[in-house]
Amino acid sequence: MSPLFFTYSGMSMENLTQAEVVAKGLEALKNLDLENAEKYFNYGLQQNEYSSEVHLGFAKLYLLQQKLDAALFWAKKARDLAEDKGDAYALIATCHLMANQVGQAVNLLQKALKDSPENPQVLSGLGKALIRAGKHAEAKPHLLKALETTDAPELVNYDLALAFADGPEDVSDFEKAVDYLTASIEANPGFAPPYFLLSHISVKLEMVDQAIEILTDGLAYNPNMLPMWEELHGLYMTANKPEKAMVQAMELVSRRGDPTDYIRVGNTALFSKDHKGALLAYKQAHELNPKDPTPLLNMAHVHRVQQNKKQAIKYYRQTAQIAPQWHRPFLGMGLIALQIDKNHDEARDHLLAALKIAPEDHEVCFYLALCAQEQNNDTECQKYAKMALATARSPREAAQAQNLLTPEVQTPE
């Protein structure tokens, strides 16, 4: 059917004024109905090829599709046609921000503010750009002023929350951020970013259960927002609730089913010591993407934990063939030689190969020290124990490395 006679919501487009066509297109954009939005804007362009509003609509459409060159083209055309160029400058600046050209965005919007001091798009855009530039205090007054007249309060409230949550000075900043995020959700419960930021704040405040509740609420309005399912899975794992985490992992498999989803299922099963389930999930991930070394490495790890030496070595070698730049296959084979075979010479060779690739990996340094201790090579033991201590990622790892050091070289507390 020709776009000229395309109907939407029971109304033929040929019966709409251009203002109505643009409004319908923007409504479709808000609902992420990009196909119909493009049809509306195309029809609007047929009605008037010099309409700045239509050009702005196309710029917003291509921004949502992350087609920056096309978005910039249409935003600049809108700038050349519009009397009030503020909205166009705000979209051009958004293109700069998406291209990580923060300085250009700030400079452009500061100049636009002189000609359009009341334009909410310019004000909120400048606030967003200043936040990206790390100038949170400067951003706040622009965003507060934008909030007075904006037709998208969910966006401005969210940016205000960012201004307080990024680099907070104290807990009160988090409280203000929560207030703005709550206002953002109330303005548009289907707007996803506030749920993510609220959950991150809750985690920072060690309120993981509350973070889970927030994302669960968000999914009620955004059931197809797969990153929310991913985030919720991670939170359940953090909360040591693998059964509920598995529900999220399986939901992602049913909704998308790409290799990373099966890897997530495998990792969750492994956490619960369901080795058979983990291997089945990793195998499926490998079959979907044979070039990805991750499932092979994970299968090798499961077999090593089960002391299935032959299978573990097979998958470690396959991993090393696909990803020779990875150190973990060599670490894994070193652990098999050290812990299962008690072959310290072979273990040392594998671990040194891993060290060559990852000289600052704590595990490699620690097991090299342990291997040297088993060989009664005190010089090497002390050398690698010091390296392990320097690369420790937790007090437990530091204590393990410290225990391998002789009293003469113990690091004072």
Element (H, E) at 214: helix 208-221
10-24, 229-243, 302-316 — which is least confidently predicted? 10-24
| Residue 4: pLDDT band with limits 50, 70, 90 | very low
Looking at residue 13, what is its pLDDT? 74
Alpha-carbon span 27 to 183, nearest angstrom: 21
411 has pLDDT over 70:
no
53 has pLDDT over 60: yes
Asked if residues 118 and 86 have their Cβ atoms less than 8 Å apart, the reply is: no
pLDDT at position 12 is 67
User: Which residue bears the tokens 């006679």?
Assistant: 5
- Please give the average per-residue pLDDT across 338-346, as a whole number: 95
Q: Where are the alpha helices (DSSP H) in 289-361?
A: 293-305, 309-322, 328-335, 344-357
94-123 pLDDT, tens per residue?
999 999 999 999 999 999 999 999 999 999
CA distance 335 to 351: 8
Q: For position 407, what pLDDT does the model report? A: 67
CB atoms within 10 A of CB 218: 25
Distance CA 10, CA 14 (A): 12
**How far apart, in Å, are the Cα atoms of 302 and each of 109, 230, 334, 347, 353?**
54, 23, 15, 19, 22
Residue whose pair of structure tokens reads 């622009």 in the numeric block: 142
The pLDDT of residue 5 is above 70: no
- The one-letter code for the residue type at 281 is A
Q: Evaluate if pTM is beyond 0.85.
A: no
